[in-house]
Each structure stands twice: as C-alpha cells, then as structure tokens.
Amino acid sequence: MATTVRTPMASGRPSIFPLVPVMILSLAGFSFIYVFVSTGESGAVVPGLALLLITMFAAVAVSSAYRSEAVAAPSASVALVCSLALLAALLPSSGNVYADAVVVFAVTAGAVTIFPKAVALPDLGSPRLRDASVAVVFLLPIGLAFAEALFLGLRFWESFHLGGEQSLFFIPFLALWGFLEEALFRGLVQRSMVPALGPGYAIAAAAVLNAAFMLFWGSLMFAIYTLLMGLVMGYLYRRTRSVVYVGTVHALQDTWLIIAFMVLGIGA
C-alpha cells in the first residue's frame, strides 16, 4: 500500500477547515459509544450512532465537494473509519464473539484493500528500511508488549481471558488485527492527512482517531495506550514509509502481549 505510485498532489498547504468539524463529530460519536459500553447507559447509544452516521455522510460530502485531493482523501478516510465503527456497532451478534470478529475483520480488510483503488492517496515515496530496522522488529514489540501489560493490568482481562481452544484462535487473531489496524490508521488515515496537516500533525490526528475507535472496547486506559502506541507507530511509518513494517511491529507486539501477561502473572 505504501509503495503504490500516485501522482503527487498540488503543492501548497490546503485549508484544513473542512476536516475540523468532521474530526470533532467523529470523536463525539465515539465518546457516546464509550459511555454506553463502559456504563451501560442506553441513552448514549442513539446520539453516538447518530453522530457517527452524520460524520460519515459529512465526510463523504466534503470528499465529493472538494476537488483538492489533499482535502478529499483524509475526509474519505474518516468516513471509512466511521462506517467500520457503525458496522461493528450494528452487526447482529451470532452468539459467538469470535465468529463476529471474523466478519468484522474480513469486511475491514476488504475495505482497506479497496480504498486505495478508489481514493487517490499521496505518494510518500518508496519504503526506507535500514539495517537497524531489523533490530527494532525484534526488540521494540517486546518492550511495547510488557509496557502495555503493566499499563492495562487486569483491565485487559475484563474482556479477554486465556484458556481452552478459544485462546488458540484469539492469539493469532489479535496479531492479524494489529497488522490490519496499522494498514487502516497509518497506511490510509495518516498517509491521506499528510498533505493537509503535514507529517507531524498527521501522526497525531491518526493516533487520536485510532484511540477514539478503540473506545469501543469500553476501556479508557486501553484507548490512552492506543493513543501512545499510535504515536510510536506513526513515527515509524513516517520514517520507514512501509505499512508492512509497522504492521509487523504491531502484530508482534500483540503476540508478545499475551506472553507478557502470562509472565507477569496478570489475569491468572
């Protein structure tokens, strides 16, 4: 994805005004959903879903109205995130959380694959990987995993538990989702926002949207860690320009996370 050859966008920083209300609406929608998931307050469901739906249509409208790809592309990427959130919220449950997860994963993977073919993304250049990158792939995920395990503690196990055959599916799924998460928020969202916001602010905006999306888990601590993780992954993506690279780091980090919880004795 990061290596796709695109025609460079027009020079000059475009107005970011159209992106501001779209981002604010999306964050408000995710916040209402978090209130429902974390507290069970049913009154937060309707405004949360309504805001996400409004954000999706508003982002699509902005993407269609503005000829500048520097505004259209990031607006379309926000619309994509909101549509995936709505799918996750409204998808009828089969009674099996893992079967439902497979459906969400498959749809998200399909959307991430199709999006670059429909939306013109900026050309950030070819991947730049150096010898030190190999060491980072081995060492950084271990450090991040243990940091996350200590940061979340028992909160992680409020939703997930090891044991039995389910864990055999859960561990590789978690790793695959980590890779897909990077393709979505770094390969699409961050990349699309670079021309409008610049590299630094694009990293921050993508990390914030990533953290807001993770509020669906119902854990503020997890969202905060996702924000920090997003900043790290965003920096690595900026330096390497490779979705495969940051996806690999994230996938290994999620795999090591399980081992970190077991080693630390958390969730026993």
**What is residue 92's DSSP assignment?**
P
pLDDT along the chain (268 residues), means of 10: 44 71 94 90 92 95 87 94 92 79 90 93 90 87 91 68 58 86 97 94 97 88 92 96 95 88 70
Q: Give the tokens for residue 199.
A: 């590299």
**What is residue 9's DSSP assignment?**
P
pLDDT for res 90: 87
* Integer Cα distance of 212 and 139 in angstroms: 28
pLDDT for res 52: 95
pLDDT for res 149: 87
pLDDT for res 35: 92
pLDDT for res 182: 97
Taking the CB of residue 223, how many other CB atoms lie within 10 A of it? 20
- 168-181 in b/e form (b: 16+ CB < 10 A) is eebbeebbebbbbb
pLDDT for res 168: 60
CA angle 254, 34, 201 (to 5 degrees): 65
Q: Give the tokens for residue 210.
A: 């990533």
DSSP H helical segments within the chain, as ranges?
A: 19-39, 45-65, 69-90, 97-118, 131-152, 165-184, 191-197, 199-213, 220-240, 243-264
Whole-prediction pTM:
0.88
Q: What is the pLDDT of residues 178-224, one digit of tens each?
A: 999 999 999 999 999 999 999 999 999 999 999 999 998 778 888 99
Question: Does residue 183 contact residue 3 with C-beta atoms inside 8 Å?
Answer: no
Where do we find the tokens 């699509």? Answer: 60
pLDDT for res 13: 62
Where do we find the tokens 């694009």? Answer: 202
